[in-house]
Structures are given as structure tokens and as C-alpha cells.
Chain A
Amino acid sequence: MTTTELLARYGFRDHAADRLAAFAAVQRWFAERDAAVTATEVDDAAVLSEETGCAVLFTVLAVDYEGGAHDRYQVPIGVIEGTAEDVADPAWVIAEGARDGSPVVFVDALTHARCASVLWRVMAEERTVATVHGELRGRGATIHIDGDLAQQLRPLGREQSNTSLVRADSELLKCFRHLEDGPTPELEMTETLSSAGFTAVPTPLGAIEYRREGLDTSLAALLQPFFHNGTEGWAMALTSLRDLYAAAEDSGDEGADAIRAAIDSQGSTFLPEAARLGETTAEMHIALSSDRLPETMRPQPVDQQTLRRWAAEMTADLDRLLERQSAALDPLRDIRPAVVAGFDAIGELREGGLAIRVHGDYHLGQVLRTDAGWTVLDFEGEPTRNLSERRLRSSPLRDVAGMTRSLDYAATVALLERTAPTDPDRDRLMAYGDAWAAANRRLFWGAYLARVGTAPMLPDAAATTALRRAFEVQKAVYEADYELGHRPDWLAIPLRFLLREVGS
């Protein structure tokens, strides 16, 4: 049977690939590429549920681009009796059709609780479902299903690259829209970390894997615990900063002593949180630097050759940024030699500690404060990098740099939120924000170092300082590149850091 025949059996006869592509193209999870789409097709399909009135089909939409790029998307389809009028939100509708003479409507199954509940059954019953060109395999024998599943499900809400469902405030099913070959970092990392005894991650509860003939297995869905009463680190940091800026506005004080006193006696302080976060981060890295990990995740020593390669990559990132036409970058161009000298310095180090699997996209938005402390989320890595790059081992200091840069961002963003560029008070307030970021970075880093102790992941103190600084600068270069394209108003944030740290 072909995918076309399978879809036709459920009444989806006309232009299925076009309809799916048109539906996908307007979704948040659909990757925008510069190249033009040359072809779309329904690459694979399977029947997940035959239930009358609500059959569920699994489909894979393949999209080819000019120049050879190629993406595959998972689009589960619910086949519902009725017409598009019967669907609560027209945005959920993919197409209409007819089955056995009655009208049916095809919807995105993940928007429809009754259809989506079949995914839990596939996992809980550890079902293997044959697709036209391969198979789907559910895992999750420990999932306990009771009562009416559909009643327990709700969508998570605003998301970018995935679509997630929450069950009874206790389980979160993350459905990966963009199917990629090979082990997904999210599953790999959370499984490894929880079996290594690091509990501050969402331990996988179940998964659905998809294997197409001739390709590596890819992850279609991942079931994780849903964290109750959680708040993103970013929101926590901004709450603290609003309190600080408001106090600073009231006081009108300036000068280092006044600022230090304001930080020390701040009511809504973030300092203990930053320290706990440093500890949690160190514990994550200690777990990832164990020799007992699977071979592909085991730590490797960072030799001089690796250090030189990193230095070269950092310089290449910088030069790619400086090639861009923007007068705002001129001050950075002026200090290029100093920046490069910092990168070159790490190439001269004899050793760089250990390269381990890292979080890869570590910032305040990826950590969640819960009643049990900090939890680390989303091990997918930087979304713009491909899968094999995201699985590369690197220095744990890369994550440290990500978090310390994020603290800096928070301080500035909270200020941009409350003042206009012309606000005469802005510079005075920024000094408070800088002091806040510096104090929190210091506590984060101090607690991190204290927790790492004598674990061998870091090189000697001087090398650690040089490496950490180089990763921070590289991160700021990456940020500048991103802001220039997306949020030119925020370009000043990384530039300020670069000019202050390197320029001085």
C-alpha cells in the first residue's frame, strides 16, 4: 500500500501533500529557509487508531528545497466526522473530505484531545505500528492510564519548534515536529543524566520512536514529568531586577557604595537563587564528566590541538560578524586585535580540562525554579546548529558562559523594559543593573567552583579563567550576530559587554 492509498481509505483523496504543506507552512514549527520549496510529498503514513468518529493517522511530510535542503515533519491527522464548521478553531483544520459517503474533516490531531490521547496508548502499551515505509515504536510501560484520557489532556500553549500536551498536570508530551535522524539530544541527555543520579532534569517517562527504511531512528514524541509550580529563571531574574530598579529610582543615589548597599540589602534578591543555580549546574557537569557514561558521551581530555581549533572557530565567528555591513559594529572592528588575542591565548594553553556533553544552549530561560530547587530543561542545543554539531563534546565552561551572559542580558532587558533611550536616569540605573549582574555572576560562579571542587573537568585556575572569558566573548559575538538580524535595538547589549570586557 502507498501513502496515497492509505490516506484515500480515510477519505483524504485530493492533493493530500499540498494540503498538508499549506497547513504546515503557517505553523510556528515550520522552519523558514531562504531557498524555495521545490517539492512536497507525504513520505510515510500509518494508522494509529481506527476508532469510529475519530480515527488517527500518522503522516510524515517531506519538503525539498532548491539547492538540496530537505526537511521532514511529523503531522498526525485526526479524522473527524463532520465539516470544518464543526471544528472549534478553523486554524486546526487541514482539509475536508468524505468517507463512506459522509463528510469528514482532517484536523491536526495534536490540537484535539481525543485524537491526541492515542499517543499515550501507543506508549503505555509499548505498541509497534507498521508504517508504509517503516515503523513507529512506543515505549513507556510504567505509564499509568486511568479514567478518561481525553479529559486529562490540555495543550501547553505558545511554543516554537514542538507541540506539547500536558496530562493531568503531571506529564508533558513533547511532540517533535521536525523529524531528524539520529539520537535526539533531549532524550539522550535526560536519560543519561537521570541514570547518573542527577535528578534536576525531566526524567523520560515514555517515548515514540520512528524508523524509516534506510534512515536512522528519530524521536517523534517524548513524555516527561510536568513540573508543577515552576517559574522560568528569566522571570525570576526580572522580578528581582524590577525591585532593584524601582528602589534605585526612589533613592536617586549613585556611587559605588550606594549601589553595593542596594544590592546587599535588596528585598527581592536573586543572589541565593544564582548560587543554587551554580551548584545545580556544577552537579549536572559532574554527572556528565563520569567515565561510566556510554562511549559516545564519555568525557575526553582537551588537548592543545582542540584548543587551537576552538580558538580558530571563535575567530571565524568574529570575522563572520564583522563582515556584516553595520556602522554599529565599528567600535568592535577597532578592538578586533584585542578580541582575537584573547582567543589566541587559549590556543597557547597546554590543556583545557575535559570536553563533555554539555547543555549547549544554557540560559535563564532553560532553567525552571520549582519547590525542589532548579531544574534544567531543553537539551536540544542551539536551534540553528545541526544535530551532529549539537552532540559535539565541549568544555563545561561553554554552559557557564551561556548562563553568565544571560544574567547580563536580564539586567539590560529589565532596564529597557522600564526606560526610554532618552530617559536621563538610564545611565545611573544601568550602573545598578551592572552591579546586579556582576554580583549574581560572582555568586553563580563561586558556587559552581565550590561544587566542582577537585573534579577534573576544569584545567588549572589561570587556564579556566582564560577559557571562560573566551567562551563568554564568543557567546557575545553570537548574540551580536543574532541581534543584528532580529532585534537591532538589543545589539547594544552584547556590544556593551564586548567593549567593556575586551576594550578595557
Chain B
Amino acid sequence: MSRAVSKRAKTVGAVAPDEAAAADTTWYKRAIFYELLVRGFADGNGDGSGDVRGLVSRLDYLQWLGVDCIWLLPINRSPMRDGGYDISDYYSLQAEYGTVSDVRELLGQAHERGMRVIMDLVVNHTSDQHPWFIESRSSPDNPKRDWYMWADSPTAFADARIIFVDTETSNWTWDEQAQAFFWHRFFSHQPDLNFDNPEVRAAMLDVVRFWLDLGMDGFRLDAVPYLFAREGTNCENLPQTHEFLAELRATVDREYGGGKVLLAEANQWPEDVVDYFGTDERPECHMCFHFPLMPRMFMALRREQRYPITEILERTPPIPKQAQWGLFLRNHDELTLEMVTDDERDYMWGEYAKDPRMKLNLGIRRRLAPLLNNGRRQMELFYGLLLSLPGTPILYYGDEIGMGDNIYLGDRDGVRTPMQWSADRNAGFSRADFAQLYLPPLMDPVYGYQAVNVEAQERSESSMLHWLRRFIAVRRRHPVFGDGGFDALDASNPSVFAFLRTLGDDVVLCVNNLSRFAQPVELDLRRYDGGVPVELVGKVHFPRIGELPYLLTMTPHAFYWFRITSGDNA
């Protein structure tokens, strides 16, 4: 939006998005987020790994697509034993990604284009290579000893579950050098920081200040439920954790004004997650992911009925006015199944992961397109839901063109292959030698970069990319999608999921057919008697609403968005 205003700020660095936008402290409620892996997005220096300079060169593409906010997966220095979620230096970048001054350049360039940038911040733990831990393990007398959680026996906090059940057998690991056990909720190379220590809390606030000072627009906070541990609890969602988050938020608000965003990763049931929003008086995070919704969408599609979705929405408590859910179809991790019941998990496994390689940590590592058997209608329906359900949509890089995955790459790399920019060498991602690439691009006949790439889809108006860009634009034109209320509508046909989004007089009706068959639906719209539904994309006027049930015919997996107008200006 400010691109025309000025080009001069190009290298100045910490430029805020233009003033009007800066004053808008709830921008994240109406924004489109785009999650990307710097390593996998674009290689600016030809070393085979993506970097910040490469990303800067692709900002025009993201702006064209309609992205408001870029979420960078971890960029901090790391031994990379957990995709960068094992940070060894909070103040520098992973070497192949570039430098802090490259990030300053990225922020300036993004802000000039009216886009914001947030980054992943891992507060719960560090890498065992972090100097803090190296000091801490060195001696019981070291001043940093108490920055981590040490014990003589691995018996404390026995009620805490083990999250990475495939690789870890305990939350305690013996350290030869320290001659003690250290506490870790994730991998045994990721010691948990001791948040009971005020020095640790202060150090973490300093990290936050450093990046915000640089111009960063906020953080996606990793693994927030686990900051504190207390005996006799499951060591999740403890009050002390919420206290720290409220302190963090207050610090950010006080020192940086409104306009920054904290997005919490708390993979819990909605009734527990809402606590991470805090209250109107004592807010914590601006946004939290709605984890259970996403697997429920897949289940609803398979079951061809709306209840898997409506149940979880019904179970989702109201949230503070400024708060917003973060919605996603897929992300860098897995189709998270921690939040479904055992029955449903078995069912999801049976349906979506016929290959045991896909079962990892109670999850399924696949991209959207292969999960939906590359069905264009199904993908459109899913994006239709993502863009119209209450929350902010978060896209995962590559899913906008229907990229595939490579399940043989192991761990989570299967969904982290290079972005497919063109049919050129290395998918247009890098000018390095093929063998030098951090991961090979997809080359199979269906999802390979020869078939699926940005350049080809930019040229074809009927491509997935153009289709999605059109619907993103529609969503961005209608604040009701971000700010409006949500009401499920009764429909006697269980395959049809219809709901209203309302914001004052602005009423949008969304109707989704979850079935692979054509379906009729009769909706009771008498409260809008005399109104005319206008389809949001083509602006086609549908028959006026009357006393009788409103009949719609839905083609397989169709969805429609209507604005209900008075019809006077028809």
C-alpha cells in the first residue's frame, strides 16, 4: 500500500508500515499470513540453501498474492537438529540464511510493500550447544547453573507426558559433564530453560527487544504451554506460564505501542488455549493457533458431514475482542492429531496415512495437495473454509500452487523441499549445483517442479494460484471475515455446512458442500426476508429471500459466499 509513497527508505532499515496501518492495532485480525522456511524459499547467493536475500527478491510475488504478514520459521543460529527449534544464539542468524543486517533489509522492503514480518522464537528451551547451557553444565557453581533445570534423579514431574514418543523415553536426560539429569520436554538435545529464574526471564525479554528494535512485527512463540514445571501437575498451562506471558505482552505493548503481534503455539483443546489470550484487562497473546479445527476439516470431508467441524466450533469458547484464532490447513509440522480422541486418531490414520512412514509423533507429514489426492475441488473447498471460518488464515509456502511432498526424506523434511518457482534448473529456487541443494526439489511427474511451479501458474488464469489469489482478494475486501461474528445455520442435509458471518449490517452467508455428490439444501433465511444474496466473486444476484426456505443446489464440494444485501441497489 505504501509502495508508491516512497522508495527512499529502501536501505534505511526499521521502517514501520505506513502510519495509517501502524495505528491499526488489530491488523492481524484481517490479515493473510504466509508461513515460510527461509532455507526452502529462495536462494539469493547460490550456495544451495535459501536465504534472507533470496526472500527479499521474492517479496513482490508475496505482495501480488495478497499476503499481509510473513511468518519466518526459525532463523536463529542453530545446530539444526530440530529444524532450527534448537537455538544456539538468539542474536545471530543461521549462517547460510545471511546476517542480521539482511533481516533489517527484509523488514524495510516488506514494510515498504505494506507487509509485515514475524519470526519464530523458541522461548521454552535452547540447543545444548547454546553458550548458556555449555556454561550451565560446566559446574554446579557456575552462575548459569540455575538457568536450566538440573536434578540428581530423573524422578521429578512424573505426571508430565513425553511429547516426542518416537524418539524420547524420558523428559530427563543424564549429562556426563554435569553429573546430573537435565529436564527437557522435547528432544534430549533441547534442555528446557528454567523460567523460575528471574535472570532467564529478563534474558528472554532482552531477546524480544533486540528483534523488535530491528523492526520485527512480532513473534510466533513456540511451545508456550511448557515454560514452567510444578510437581503434581502435567506441567502444561501452569498459572506461572500465563503470568510470564502477560508480563511479556505488557512489556511489548509498553515499549513498542500497539501493532506488534504475539502468536502462540499451544497445541491444546480450545478451552485451554483461550487462556493464552488472557483477558481484556490482562492480555497475553494476540493470536493462538486453532489446532483441533484442522484435522476436523479433513474428517468432515471424509465423513461428508459437517459435525466434525461444528462440534469443535461449538466447543470453542468466546475470545477477547482483540484476540484472533490462527487457522491453517497444513503447516511445517504435521497434521496434528494430539487434539483428537483415540477413535478419531485411528480413523484419521486409517484414512490419510495408509503408509506407516507417514505416522510420526501421532501425526501425518503431508502437504495439502497429496492429502487431498490432488483434488482441485477439494483444495478449493478447503481454502474456502480457511478463508471464511472465524480466524486469520495462515498459508504454508508452496501450498498455494498445490506442491507435493517427499515422504522418503525422513523426519519433517518431506514438506520442506524447495519452493517451485519455475521449470528451470533446481525449480528456479537456486543457481547452485543440484548436488549442493539442502534438499532435492520434487521431480515426480505429478507434483514435480516441471508440472507444478509458480511461473506456469502465473501464466494460466485458471491455475490454483490465480484462483486462490482471487479469493484472498475477496476476503481482504470484506472485513467481516476477520472481525465478524459466526453463526452456524441449521440445514437438514448433514453434508452441507452453512454459516453466517456478521459485522453490523454486513452479512455474509457461506455455504459449503462437504459431499462428493451434488446436494440440495434449504436454508431458513427468513430473518433476511426481502434481502438479495449477491455472490461475492462474480457479484451475481440470486433470487430474493422470501418466506419459504431458501433453496440452493450445490455441485460436488462446492462452496458459495454471498453478501446479503437489501437488493435496492440491484
Whole-angstrom distance between the Cβ of B24 and the nearest chain A Cβ: 34
A268-B303 in contact (CB<8A): yes
A371-B310 in contact (CB<8A): yes
Q: Which of A157, A243, A269 has the most CB of B within 10 A?
A: A243
Which residues of B lie under 8 Å from residue A157 when comparing CB positions?
549
B350-A231 in contact (CB<8A): no
Cα–Cα, bound, A154→B305 (Å): 27
Whole-angstrom distance between the Cβ of B524 and the nearest chain A Cβ: 8
B101 on the A face (CB < 8 A): no
A269-B303 in contact (CB<8A): yes
* Total cross-chain contacts (CB, 8 A): 60
Which residues of A lie under 8 Å from residue B517 when comparing CB positions?
242, 246
A268-B302 in contact (CB<8A): yes
Cα–Cα, bound, A272→B343 (Å): 8
B490-A267 in contact (CB<8A): no
Cα–Cα, bound, A232→B492 (Å): 8
Nearest residue, chain A, Cβ from B497: A229
A267-B494 in contact (CB<8A): no
A292 on the B face (CB < 8 A): no
B351 on the A face (CB < 8 A): yes
A236 on the B face (CB < 8 A): yes
Cα–Cα, bound, A235→B307 (Å): 13
Nearest residue, chain A, Cβ from B309: A371
A228 on the B face (CB < 8 A): yes
B492-A154 in contact (CB<8A): no
B305-A267 in contact (CB<8A): no
Given the contacts A239-B494, A246-B517, A272-B343, A369 and B488 also touching, CB distance less than 8 Å: no
Whole-angstrom distance between the Cβ of B401 and the nearest chain A Cβ: 27
Whole-angstrom distance between the Cβ of A415 and the nearest chain B Cβ: 16
B321 on the A face (CB < 8 A): no
B307-A369 in contact (CB<8A): yes
Whole-angstrom distance between the Cβ of B510 and the nearest chain A Cβ: 15
Whole-angstrom distance between the Cβ of B406 and the nearest chain A Cβ: 25
Which residues of A lie under 8 Å from residue B420 when comparing CB positions?
none
A268-B304 in contact (CB<8A): yes
A229-B488 in contact (CB<8A): yes
Which residues of A lie under 8 Å from residue B78 when comparing CB positions?
none
B351-A267 in contact (CB<8A): yes
Whole-angstrom distance between the Cβ of B394 and the nearest chain A Cβ: 25
Given the contacts A230-B490, A236-B494, A239-B495, A372 and B314 also touching, CB distance less than 8 Å: yes
Which residues of B lie under 8 Å from residue A239 when comparing CB positions?
304-305, 493-495, 515
A251 on the B face (CB < 8 A): no
Cα–Cα, bound, A265→B488 (Å): 29
Cα–Cα, bound, A369→B488 (Å): 15
Contact flags B286-309 to A (C-beta < 8 A → 1, else 0): 000000000000000011110100
Nearest residue, chain B, Cβ from A276: B343
Q: Which of A333-373 contact B (CB under 8 A)?
A: 369, 371-372
Whole-angstrom distance between the Cβ of A135 and the nearest chain B Cβ: 35
Of A228, A243, A371, the residue contacting B304 (CB under 8 A) is A243
Nearest residue, chain B, Cβ from A243: B304
Nearest residue, chain A, Cβ from B301: A267
B494-A369 in contact (CB<8A): yes
B526 on the A face (CB < 8 A): yes
Which residues of A lie under 8 Å from residue B303 when comparing CB positions?
267-269
Q: Which of A220-235 contact B (CB under 8 A)?
A: 228-232, 235
B304-A267 in contact (CB<8A): yes
Which residues of A lie under 8 Å from residue B314 when comparing CB positions?
229, 371-372
Nearest residue, chain B, Cβ from A269: B303
Whole-angstrom distance between the Cβ of A248 and the nearest chain B Cβ: 14
Which residues of B lie under 8 Å from residue A267 when comparing CB positions?
302-304, 351
Q: Which of B257-315 contact A (CB under 8 A)?
A: 302-305, 307, 310-311, 313-315
Of A169, A231, A242, A246, the residue contacting B492 (CB under 8 A) is A231
Whole-angstrom distance between the Cβ of B120 and the nearest chain A Cβ: 34
Nearest residue, chain A, Cβ from B341: A272
Nearest residue, chain A, Cβ from B343: A272
Contact flags A114-125 to B (C-beta < 8 A → 1, else 0): 000000000000
A231-B488 in contact (CB<8A): no
Contact flags B53-85 to A (C-beta < 8 A → 1, else 0): 000000000000000000000000000000000
Cα–Cα, bound, A243→B515 (Å): 9
Which residues of A lie under 8 Å from residue B492 when comparing CB positions?
231-232, 235
Q: Which of B518-550 contact A (CB under 8 A)?
A: 524, 526, 549
B350-A265 in contact (CB<8A): yes
Which residues of B lie under 8 Å from residue A231 when comparing CB positions?
305, 307, 491-494
B515-A371 in contact (CB<8A): no
Cα–Cα, bound, A246→B549 (Å): 29
Which residues of B lie under 8 Å from residue A272 when comparing CB positions?
343, 347
Whole-angstrom distance between the Cβ of A199 and the nearest chain B Cβ: 15
Nearest residue, chain A, Cβ from B548: A157
B310-A235 in contact (CB<8A): no
Q: Which of B489-504 contact A (CB under 8 A)?
A: 489-495
Whole-angstrom distance between the Cβ of B448 and the nearest chain A Cβ: 28
Which residues of A lie under 8 Å from residue B490 when comparing CB positions?
169, 228-230
Contact flags A228-268 to B (C-beta < 8 A → 1, else 0): 11111001100100110010000000000000000001011
Given the contacts A242-B517, A246-B517, A371 and B307 also touching, CB distance less than 8 Å: yes
Cα–Cα, bound, A169→B524 (Å): 10
Contact flags A73-116 to B (C-beta < 8 A → 1, else 0): 00000000000000000000000000000000000000000000
Nearest residue, chain B, Cβ from A229: B488
Cα–Cα, bound, A369→B491 (Å): 12
Whole-angstrom distance between the Cβ of A269 and the nearest chain B Cβ: 7
Which residues of B lie under 8 Å from residue A265 when comparing CB positions?
350-351
Given the contacts A236-B494, A268-B302, A269-B303, A228 and B343 also touching, CB distance less than 8 Å: no
Which residues of A lie under 8 Å from residue B351 when comparing CB positions?
265, 267
Nearest residue, chain B, Cβ from A88: B547
Whole-angstrom distance between the Cβ of B5 and the nearest chain A Cβ: 48
Q: Which of A10-43 contact B (CB under 8 A)?
A: none
Whole-angstrom distance between the Cβ of B342 and the nearest chain A Cβ: 12
Nearest residue, chain A, Cβ from B494: A231
Q: List 10 A-B contacts (CB under 8 A).
A: A157-B549, A229-B314, A231-B305, A231-B307, A239-B495, A242-B517, A267-B304, A269-B303, A269-B347, A371-B315
Q: A239-B494, A243-B304 are in contact. List 9 more A-B contacts (CB 8 A).
A: A229-B314, A231-B307, A236-B305, A267-B302, A269-B347, A272-B343, A272-B347, A371-B315, A372-B314
The 6 lowest CB-CB distance pairs between A and B, nearest first, are A371-B314, A268-B304, A267-B302, A231-B494, A371-B311, A229-B488
